Structure 1
Amino acid sequence: MRKVLIIGATSAIAAAIARLFAKDGDRVFLIARNEEHLKATADDIAVRGASVAGYRSLDVNALDEHRAVLEEAEGALGGIDLALIAHGTLPVQIDCERSPGLTAQELQTNAVSTIALLTRLAERMEERRSGRIAVITSVAGDRGRQSNYVYGAAKAAVDTFLEGLRQRLHKSGVGVTTVRPGFIDTPMTAGFRKGLLWAKPETAAKRIHAAIGKGTDVVYVPWFWGWIMLVIRFLPRSIFKRIKL
């Protein structure tokens, strides 16, 4: 029975993952901004088998509140074996291009708040010399593209931070899993035209849940995005700058 903390727990993917942990009978503590949605999610996973289904609201950009909320979660769970960070926003690229303030806000939410939480969690797990941290980033962080490079830059920052954190924590027995989803059909992507490359949150959740259980370092969701992004990463700049992605 694991002690699982999920931050950004009301997102479609995170809620689906929480249901899988509940089915395993794990102790689960949920953190997100909307308390009403949190309570509904906690009630749901309690019915589905979670041995503990606690929750606490938090605005992740309130960095000075992170320590107290993590301490509350740890107390409710009796420790933290696994922490999953899944919060984020998807900005409109053209709006960011016209507003330095909006760009800074999106970088704060999608990168700085995550890195701040990781710093707190890593300190705790390194001291105990056990545990696993998993973070949902995005394939957008693999290479900057004109359609979403503000979002991609934030995810790339988190990816690089996780790479260094993984190396640092390895000697302490703490694992780090980077989750890179492609197109997932969630409320956050409701305005996008869907096609063959899109997956449902439940499908993504199963792959993420399995990867965490196996201790995978980096997982693409669905699997074929690993091959797609391999091609995109290795396109020569002379070609890449001329195509629309």
Structure 2
Amino acid sequence: MQHTWVILGATSAMARAFARALSEQGHALILAGRDMDDLKTLAADCTLRGASDARALRFDAREAKHDAPILDALEQAEGTLNAAVFIGSMPEQARIDDNPLLLQGVMQDNFTGPARFLHAFAPMIEARGGGTIVGVGSVAGDRGRIGNYAYGASKSAFHTYLAGLRNRLGRAGGHVITVKPGFVDSAMTWGIKGMFLVAAPGIVARDILRAVNKRRNVIYTPGFWRLIMLIIRTIPEPIFKKLSI
């Protein structure tokens, strides 16, 4: 069956690994992001790896005007339509504390921008009676922690949105997967102090593909983060608020 995947934030490390894996399966790709030169290079690489089609289109979560060309390209594509959202930003919490105006950008990049696009895309899945959406959130969204609670709040909102969208699209044959990675070796996390158990982007891409094939609802990747976050979520609040984690 012909599949077309749109990947938002396609030049991120996790998205690149995911796009290459999809290419090897022969799917068509719409690679969307802000760096057009990098996207075009990635599109050429995906074509060489076996993608039936690979094109680059501009997408910025803070600019709604970029949605329409991508949605038009999807409307014209044949077969099952799918989307994977890797886009996001994570300024240091200290920077946000110094300049609260940065909160708007964090919410746009991690929640409102992706949700805006997916809400316009959802009717296409309903009309065709199938398709998958992969939304990449974060373990940071499971509980507000002093080190990154602004970023965590934006991801928590995205998780909630994806849960509701999963309920909606499941009634029309579609499916939505919420992905919660831990620390991943990427440009966004480069140089951050205190990281541990850092995963390679290829490991995350592998876990996402497995989740797509098995129609999983929510996954932690790597899988041990499910236990770590279970422990963090169950720490009583009087104790938790004294911890620097």
Same fold, TM-score > 0.5, yes or no:
yes
Q: CA deviation at 1:120?
A: 0.8
Q: Is the 8 A contact 1:97 1:103 kept in 2?
A: no
- Cα deviation, 1:167-214, whole Å, max 9, x if unaligned, reads 122111110000000000111111124765111111111111111121
Which residue of structure 1 lines up, in the alignment, with residue 202 of structure 2? 202
Mapped partners of 1:115, 1:60: distance in 2: 9
- Cα deviation, 1:137-187, whole Å, max 9, x if unaligned, reads 100000010100110000000000111111122111110000000000111
Q: Is the 8 A contact 2:74 2:81 kept in 1?
A: no
Which residue of structure 1 lines up, in the alignment, with residue 170 of structure 2? 170
Mapped partners of 2:194, 2:19: distance in 1: 25
Letter aligned with residue 5 of structure 2: V
Q: 1:194 to 1:208 in 2, by over 3 A?
A: farther
Which residue of structure 1 lines up, in the alignment, with residue 15 of structure 2? 14
SS of the aligned residue for 1:161 comes to helix
Mapped partners of 2:195, 2:148: distance in 1: 19
Which residue of structure 1 lines up, in the alignment, with residue 70 of structure 2? 69
Gaps of 5+ in 2: none
Which residue of structure 2 lines up, in the alignment, with residue 59 of structure 1? 60
Deviates more, 1:105-114 or 1:140-149: 105-114
Mapped partners of 1:79, 1:101: distance in 2: 42
**TM-score where L is the length of structure 1:** 0.95
Letter aligned with residue 4 of structure 2: K
1:235 aligns with 2:241: no
Percentage identity across paired residues of the two chains: 39
Which residue of structure 2 lines up, in the alignment, with residue 161 of structure 1? 161
Which residue of structure 2 lines up, in the alignment, with residue 213 of structure 1? 213
Deviates more, 1:192-201 or 1:117-126: 192-201
Q: CA deviation at 1:105?
A: 1.6
Q: Is the 8 A contact 1:204 1:221 kept in 2?
A: yes
- After superposition, residues 1-245 of structure 1 pair within 5 angstroms as 1-75=2-76, 77-78=77-78, 80-193=80-193, 197-245=197-245
Gaps of 5+ in 1: none
Q: CA deviation at 1:59?
A: 1.7
SS of the aligned residue for 1:55 comes to strand
Mapped partners of 1:107, 1:144: distance in 2: 15
Q: 1:18 to 1:194 in 2, by over 3 A?
A: farther
Deviates more, 1:90-99 or 1:145-154: 90-99
- Cα deviation, 1:67-111, whole Å, max 9, x if unaligned, reads 332212442x33552110111111110111121211112111111
Mapped partners of 1:32, 1:176: distance in 2: 21
SS of the aligned residue for 1:100 comes to coil
Letter aligned with residue 68 of structure 2: R
Q: Is the 8 A contact 1:129 1:174 kept in 2?
A: yes
Q: 1:79 to 1:61 in 2, by over 3 A?
A: farther
How many pairs are equivalent? Answer: 244
Mapped partners of 1:45, 1:3: distance in 2: 13
Letter aligned with residue 71 of structure 2: L
Q: Is the 8 A contact 2:4 2:78 kept in 1?
A: yes
SS of the aligned residue for 1:28 comes to strand
Q: CA deviation at 1:50?
A: 0.5
Q: 1:146 to 1:193 in 2, by over 3 A?
A: closer
CA RMSD for the aligned pairs?
Answer: 1.4
Mapped partners of 2:227, 2:170: distance in 1: 27
SS of the aligned residue for 2:179 comes to strand
Q: CA deviation at 1:113?
A: 0.2
Q: Is the 8 A contact 2:61 2:108 kept in 1?
A: no
Q: Is the 8 A contact 1:5 1:80 kept in 2?
A: no
**TM-score where L is the length of structure 2:** 0.95
